[in-house]
Amino acid sequence: MTAHLLTLNAGSSSLKFALFEAEGPEPLLLAKGQVEALGALPHLVLRAGAGDGLEDRLVPKDEANAHVSALQHILDALKTHFPAMSVEAAGHRVVHGGPGYAEPLILRPEIIAELEEFIPLAPLHQPHNLAGIGAARQAFPGAMQVACFDTAFHRSHSWVNDAFALPRAYYDRGIRRYGFHGLSYEYVAGRLAEIAPDVAAARVVIAHLGAGASMCAIKDGRSVASTMGFSPLDGLPMGTRCGQLDPGVVLYLLDREGMTSQEIGDMLYKKSGLKGLSGLSGDMRELESAGTPEASQALSYYVSRIQREVGSLAAALNGLDALVFCGGIGENSAFIRRKVCEDLHWIGIGVEEGRNERGETLISTAGSLAKVFVVKTDEEAMIAKHTQKLYRRAQKNL
């Protein structure tokens, strides 16, 4: 019987998944999709590996109000289209691996308990990642469960790009810059090595722009610095998250506005960013078409922060050879790519407008000193690759 891998990427109101065959030299994608709007109007989408639609339907609210029940609908749909499915391993995206976990690993109960301790470091993500793990353990009690950490890719940072200027004892307690979106960066760096190996081995800044957004400086395929630090709040403004913020603002909100830490956290994670600035939405598509002064200001702020971080990360690299856009906004918004690049001539960037509008892989002009790429990221493929590697290693040791 053919062994299969299932990848799960659990969010606050969604559960993304992908099914792979595990026995080839690389995991072979059979199907992928998601259940979104858990607890509200759950919606299941399932596509074959080639992209053909298999299912696209609403799910009764009381039948998909949590990750466990959503996973059951996913499994029912997969079994309908792949009746011989035999899940031998499940790979999970886990946003926070703390200071110790620098590579994917097989989950054991004591590791899961330790990952629960990192919930305060990523409250918007970690609880749901762990819920996905719990659902998979319940559905596949005999399968290997693998955690793939978003923070692991950044454990190669130097101390100066890892520490805050706080009393040193806090660093030892884990208060440091972790960086996130590591699975996306790892995948895109690997794709860049295939597309342009000469550039991939040089000085690269990757901009992962989506509902969550960050940027990463990469040299020789390794993370050097990232815009996200201690938590997924830092760096760029995002759909609903604030990005970089003077810590004095938090102190002011506590002392002068009388807000509780919970109220501040709710505001910074869910009511700020593009949504807070525009007073309209955190969805880039809505903001680009809105035409209001507030939406225009939000977009200008977003672009300005990206441009500033390009300069900062280029300084960390001692120069720049390539800029790469990925993520839902980076891959699909020609407007944002154009606005970001049009004021980066000082660093040698020029973009050919026709290529940019068409979303081609290489969008820079022939004379651009730093090349500009658009690369579609695939966190599920990266999770599957890591899971397959650990699964095969375990099979050899049987």
Question: Is 159 domain-assigned?
Answer: no
pLDDT of residue 123: 86
287 φ/ψ angles, rounded to the nearest 5 degrees: -70, -40
Residue matched to tokens 């080839």 = 24
134 shares a domain with 210: no
Question: Is 171 domain-assigned?
Answer: no
96 shares a domain with 226: no
Report, as residue numbers or ranges, the catalytic residues.
150
pLDDT of residue 133: 92
Burial of 366 (0-12, 13-18, 19+ CB in 10 A): exposed
323 shares a domain with 221: yes
Q: Give the count of domains, the chain.
A: 2
226 shares a domain with 129: no
User: What tens digit of pLDDT does each residue of 116-133 get?
Assistant: 999 988 888 899 899 889
231 shares a domain with 115: no
283 shares a domain with 144: no
263 shares a domain with 348: yes
Q: How many CB atoms lie within 10 A of CB 166?
A: 11
User: Side-chain half-sphere of 122: how many Cα atoms within 13 Å?
Assistant: 29
Q: How many CB atoms lie within 10 A of CB 266?
A: 14
Question: Is 293 domain-assigned?
Answer: yes
Distances (CA, A) of 245 to 99, 171, 207, 315: 23, 20, 20, 21
Question: Is 61 domain-assigned?
Answer: yes
284 shares a domain with 346: yes
Question: Is 164 domain-assigned?
Answer: no
What pTM was computed for the model? 0.94
- Looking at 142-240, list the stretches that DSSP marks H as alpha helix, in order from N- to C-terminal side: 168-172, 182-195, 197-200
pLDDT of residue 195: 96
pLDDT of residue 273: 97
Q: For residue 136, give the CATH number of its domain.
A: 3.30.420.40
pLDDT of residue 91: 97
pLDDT of residue 24: 87
User: What tens digit of pLDDT does each residue of 225-272 get?
Assistant: 999 999 999 999 999 999 999 999 999 999 999 999 999 999 999 999
- Give pLDDT < 50 ranges for the chain: none
203 shares a domain with 136: no
List, in sequence order, every beta strand (DSSP E) within the chain. 4-10, 14-21, 28-36, 43-48, 53-58, 87-94, 105-106, 144-149, 203-209, 213-219, 222-226, 322-326, 371-374
Residues facing 14 on adjacent strands: 36
pLDDT of residue 4: 95
Domain of residue 298, residue span: 197-374
